[in-house]
């Protein structure tokens, strides 16, 4: 098997200057461990200039096309003692609306952003930073011409320009009134009482117009809300700015992990208040019940592609704390069957259960009925599928989409039988407020 070529370059804790230097090559993608203090945030991956781009806009079965392209690219082996999580392969996004191609769902919500459900580039090189060792390498697939490698190295030597300012024309506003949200909430309660579902993740959208460079907005958001599964990517149609704390699925050496988040509290203003809020979250029976419901859903999802008997829950109700919020997080693991690959796992598990509800398909049908606009990239995923079969995707929550000079953000939460309308509505505002308060104009809702 041919071998990756690794060229060590100087380590930079902040990947944005190098992103600026490389973005002119086209289709830049940054998988950004902005919060690299935890074991989840050890590596960041930056790539640009894909050899091809697979889009559902012009490919009926884009996931199968990605698999075929990866097979053509072919695997490579790592030099002895230098294995990294990613070298070459597919990077990009899966929108929430991919679910329509995987399950039998109605088509009711307006598709006003109208982005492809899948856009994954095939990249033959990447810049991988190890934040633990504070080292960085340009990793080149053996099929990459030496002239292309030299072009990337030359770009890295250039002084980056400053991105243009990011400006909002007006404060973000909620596109639904509280009364409209309350109607949807009441309908969910009706479905729960009727036995259709146990939990529904209900989201609402916020929007504004903007001018300038979305990368500057990402810089502001990243500084205010660093998370281990952040991402920034540019396509011809849109920019995605994701400050996600949640892993959807990881595959490494046939070992699968999902890390669902269900349960959130704001950080306290004092140490005592903060500790009290964290303790309240950890011991809240409602939050624990919701989290367990999603864990059971994910055990079922992973069980479709994993070896029977291999599903485990090594973490249940763990506390993860970020600058603005505490989260209740669990971990579900399994061993991928030999007759399944990462793409088959995606097909059987997408989208993540933590952002749908349970049971999953009925929950997505109810979401389609009650949310007036499609979720687009929100609650989809950003990540990679490597040419050796490894994979890692986030769930694109805490994320902004910039398209046609409009910028969109969503906030949502899980509704169960004993949910309180005022608390659930406020949770959606709190989640987006933690992001939007970092931007030049404070939200108005």
Mean pLDDT over the full length of the chain: 94
What confidence category does residue 430 fall into, taking pLDDT thresholds of 50, 70 and 90?
A: confident
The pLDDT of residue 36 is 65
| Spatial contact of 247 and 259, defined as CB atoms under 8 Å apart | yes
CA-to-CA distance for 55 and 322, rounded, in angstroms? 34
- Buried b / exposed e across 371-381, counting CB within 10 Å, b at 16+? bebbbbbbbbb
The pLDDT of residue 421 is 96
Reported CATH class of domain 5-436: alpha beta
The pLDDT of residue 38 is 65
The pLDDT of residue 104 is 86
Beta bridge partners of 118: 94
The pLDDT of residue 443 is 78
Q: Any residues with CB less than 8 A from the CB of 414 and at least 6 apart, and which?
A: 199, 200, 201, 262, 290, 357
- Buried b / exposed e across 90-128, counting CB within 10 Å, b at 16+? bbbbbbbbbbbbbeeeeeebeeebebbbbbbbbbbbbbb
The pLDDT of residue 37 is 62
CA-to-CA distance for 22 and 161, rounded, in angstroms? 11
Among 98-107, 344-353, 386-395, the least confident range = 98-107
Residue 203 clears pLDDT 90, i.e. is over it: yes
Determine the average pLDDT of the residues in 285-305. Answer: 94
Over the stretch 4-19, which tens digit does the pLDDT of each residue have?
999 999 999 999 999 9
What confidence category does residue 266 fall into, taking pLDDT thresholds of 50, 70 and 90?
A: confident
Say whether 262 is catalytic.
Answer: yes
Among 225-234, 355-364, 425-434, the least confident range = 425-434
What confidence category does residue 81 fall into, taking pLDDT thresholds of 50, 70 and 90?
A: confident
What confidence category does residue 164 fall into, taking pLDDT thresholds of 50, 70 and 90?
A: confident
The percent of residues in the chain predicted with pLDDT above 90, rounded, is 86
Determine the average pLDDT of the residues in 431-435. Answer: 86
Determine the average pLDDT of the residues in 77-102. Answer: 94
| Spatial contact of 217 and 166, defined as CB atoms under 8 Å apart | yes
Determine the average pLDDT of the residues in 157-181. Answer: 90
| Spatial contact of 365 and 298, defined as CB atoms under 8 Å apart | no
| Spatial contact of 393 and 191, defined as CB atoms under 8 Å apart | no
Phi, psi (5° rounding) for residue 251? -125, 125
Annotated catalytic residue, options 65, 216, 246, 320: 246
The pTM (predicted TM-score) of the whole model is 0.95
Annotated catalytic residue, options 65, 216, 234, 262: 262
Q: Which conformational region is residue 46 in: left (phi greater than 0), alpha (psi within -120 to 50 degrees), or beta?
A: beta
Over the stretch 322-362, which tens digit does the pLDDT of each residue have?
888 899 999 999 999 999 999 999 999 999 999 999 999 99
Over the stretch 115-125, which tens digit does the pLDDT of each residue have?
999 999 999 99
């Amino acid at each position: 098997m041919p071998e990756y070529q690794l060229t060590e370059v100087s380590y930079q804790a902040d990947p944005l200057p190098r992103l600026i230097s490389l973005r002119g090559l086209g289709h830049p993608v940054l998988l950004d461990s902005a919060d690299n203090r935890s074991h989840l945030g050890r590596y960041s991956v930056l790539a640009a200039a894909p050899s091809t781009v697979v889009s559902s806009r012009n490919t009926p079965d884009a996931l199968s096309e990605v698999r075929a392209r990866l097979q053509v690219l072919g695997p490579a082996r790592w030099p002895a003692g230098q294995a990294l999580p990613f070298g070459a392969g597919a990077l990009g996004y899966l929108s929430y609306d991919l679910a329509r191609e995987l399950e039998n769902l109605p088509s009711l919500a307006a598709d006003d952003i109208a982005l492809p459900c899948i856009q994954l580039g095939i990249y033959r090189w990447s810049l991988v930073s190890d934040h633990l060792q504070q080292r960085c390498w340009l990793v080149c697939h053996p099929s990459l011409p030496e002239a292309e490698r030299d072009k990337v190295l030359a770009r890295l030597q250039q002084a980056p320009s400053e991105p243009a300012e990011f400006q909002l024309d007006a404060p973000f506003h909620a596109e639904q009134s509280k009364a409209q949200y309350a109607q949807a909430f009441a309908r969910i309660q009706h479905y729960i009482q009727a036995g259709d579902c146990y939990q529904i993740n209900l989201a609402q959208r916020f929007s504004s117009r903007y001018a300038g460079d979305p990368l500057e907005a990402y810089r502001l958001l990243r500084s205010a809300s660093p998370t281990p599964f952040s991402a920034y990517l540019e396509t011809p149609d849109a920019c995605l700015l994701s400050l996600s704390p949640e892993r959807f699925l990881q595959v490494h050496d046939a070992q699968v992990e999902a890390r669902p988040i269900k349960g959130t509290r704001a950080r306290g203003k004092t140490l005592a208040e903060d500790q009290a809020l964290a303790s309240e979250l950890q011991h809240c029976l409602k939050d624990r019940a919701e989290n367990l419901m999603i864990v059971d859903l994910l055990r079922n999802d992973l069980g479709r592609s994993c070896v029977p008997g291999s599903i485990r829950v090594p973490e249940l109700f763990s506390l993860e704390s970020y600058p603005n919020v505490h989260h209740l997080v669990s971990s579900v693991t399994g061993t991928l069957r030999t007759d399944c690959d990462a793409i088959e796992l995606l097909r059987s598990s997408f989208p993540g259960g933590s952002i749908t509800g349970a049971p999953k398909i009925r929950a997505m049908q109810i979401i389609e009925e009650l949310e007036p606009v499609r979720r687009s990239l929100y609650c989809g995923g950003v990540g990679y599928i490597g040419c050796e079969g490894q994979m890692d995707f986030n769930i694109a929550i805490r994320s902004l989409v910039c398209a046609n000079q409009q910028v969109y953000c969503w906030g949502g939460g899980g509704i169960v039988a004993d949910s309180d309308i005022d608390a659930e509505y406020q949770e959606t505002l709190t989640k987006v407020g933690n992001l939007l308060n970092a931007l030049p104009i404070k939200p108005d809702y």
